[in-house]
Chains A and B, each alone.
Chain A
Amino acid sequence: MNNALLVNIFRFILLLAVQIIIFNNMNFLGYISPFPYILFIILYPVNGNKSGLIASSFLLGIIMDLFSNSGGTHATACLVLAYMRPSLFKFAFGLSYEYQTIKINEILSPQRFTFILLSVIIHHFTLFLLEAFQLLYIMDTLITILLSTIFTIIICIIIIYLIKPNKR
């Protein structure tokens, strides 16, 4: 139990550092940036403390906002994702997800991919719509959302498989 807490704190700091130092400067084609820091919310233990997740997601987002001068957009997007997470689990893994021992960072099954995909889409939708904050450039925003989502998912999956210790 204590171990899980330490792992989460470590993950929180590491993902934020990598996001701010590397991925924020990665302007692919000029405007597409991946946001793999949301892996913290995706990989948070399924039966972990829910209030803890919501509070730490808010903190995660606020720190991102602090570093990228984006007001409160990252905080809002992270909060929405953290709050929707149980429903996403229910959708991706079936109703009885709480009794299964689900681990996201294992072999990529269709369920796990669905979960990651939906999480990234929800986060990016909230993030980019709030960032644009008007419907005048809706087409540009939608294209950015699409491309960024693809980019983030690829990098998330790469990170999961790079870091995952192969026990078996």
Chain B
Amino acid sequence: MQQIFNFIFKNSNRILFLILLGISLFLTIQSHSFHRSKIISSANFLSGGVYEKVNNLNEYLNLKNENDILALENAKLRSMLFNVKDTATAKTLDSIEGVKLKDIIVAKVIKNSYNVYENYLTLNSGELQGIKTDMGVINSLGIIGIIENTSPKYSTVISILNKRTQINAKIKKSDHFGSLNWNGKSTGFVQLTDLPRLALIKIGDTIVTGGQSVIFPENINIGTIAKIYRDNVTNYYTLDVKLFNDMTNLGHVYIIKSKDREEVNNLEKKN
């Protein structure tokens, strides 16, 4: 017994180091695994509160930018209003078709990261506003990400600039779909993989969210095709998609409540 105590006292630093190393490595590995939310995330009152304060200051510096974006959105809405008679074009103009106003929660990005392989955003609304895990996040230009963690007042979003995201996406004019990933290289581009070779595509075509996703409604803008890679071994294309959104400059975002999701999930569980 005496010797055990002696051993512990003598190596107390090493034991402390090993225990803490074990904890931190566990947290690291856990955060890299798919389909599991992080234990340590910025959706909590401490970091959320600090980021909100910092963001309040930063907002003043970005007022001009934000105004420009709002003006653009206004112009677009106005053009929709004036062209309302032309029902054929009105449908394509409305980028969030099928989403009613009451299904949307408005939130503000208080922390944005885009310089690592796994990027997250922090929003200033949480469970109290009705945000739940796995809701889709968009803004007026296109998709942004998916809600990952929530606390009463804050929530974190797994950005499309994250290697763990996979979103169902399709070519707007042809309904051929693939899955959207990010290769970690540039903040302006994401990759659409597993698109069948049968699809007729050319550079400049628009990519929108596909109907298979229960997180996003169909036909939400993502970006345009910038580059096409042909893989001769498989029968699939890989595309570079230039995002409509500037992911390094995000202000207000919309969170979409999907009412059908639980129903779809329950149905799929029965299979």
Q: Is B30 an interface residue (CB 8 A)?
A: yes
The listed residue (B24, B25, B42, B54) touching A66 by CB distance below 8 A is: B42
Q: Is B211 an interface residue (CB 8 A)?
A: no
| Also in contact, A50 and B13, with CB within 8 A (given A66-B42, A68-B42) | yes
| Also in contact, A69 and B28, with CB within 8 A (given A27-B114, A79-B20, A137-B117) | no
> Hey, which chain B residues are within 8 Å of A76, CB to CB?
21, 24-25, 28
Looking at chain A's contact residues, is the secondary structure mostly helix, strand, loop, or mixed?
A: helix
Q: Are B42 and A55 in contact (CB under 8 A)?
A: no
Q: Are B120 and A131 in contact (CB under 8 A)?
A: no
The listed residue (A27, A66, A72, A131) touching B117 by CB distance below 8 A is: A131
Give the number of residue pairs across the A-B interface with Cβ within 8 Å: 100
Cα of A82 to Cα of B17 in the assembled complex, Å: 9
Cα of A50 to Cα of B20 in the assembled complex, Å: 14
The digit string for B1-39, where 1 denotes a CB below 8 A from any CB of A, is 000000000001100110011011111111110000010
Cα of A55 to Cα of B46 in the assembled complex, Å: 20
Interface residues on B, range: 35 or more
The listed residue (A20, A65, A68, A137) touching B27 by CB distance below 8 A is: A65
The digit string for A64-107, where 1 denotes a CB below 8 A from any CB of B, is 01111111110110011011000000000000000000000000
Q: Are A69 and B38 in contact (CB under 8 A)?
A: yes
Q: Is A133 an interface residue (CB 8 A)?
A: yes
Q: Is B113 an interface residue (CB 8 A)?
A: yes
> Hey, which chain A residues are within 8 Å of B32, CB to CB?
71, 133
Q: Is B233 an interface residue (CB 8 A)?
A: no
Q: Is A120 an interface residue (CB 8 A)?
A: no
The listed residue (B24, B41, B184) touching A69 by CB distance below 8 A is: B41
For A132, give the chain B residue with the smallest CB separation. Answer: B117
Q: Is A51 an interface residue (CB 8 A)?
A: yes
Q: Is A160 an interface residue (CB 8 A)?
A: no
| Also in contact, A55 and B16, with CB within 8 A (given A62-B24, A72-B25, A75-B27) | yes
Q: Are B21 and A69 in contact (CB under 8 A)?
A: no
Cα of A13 to Cα of B23 in the assembled complex, Å: 23
Q: Are B20 and A71 in contact (CB under 8 A)?
A: no
> Hey, which chain A residues are within 8 Å of B20, CB to CB?
54-55, 58, 75, 79
> Closest CB of chain A to B146's CB: distance in Å?
14
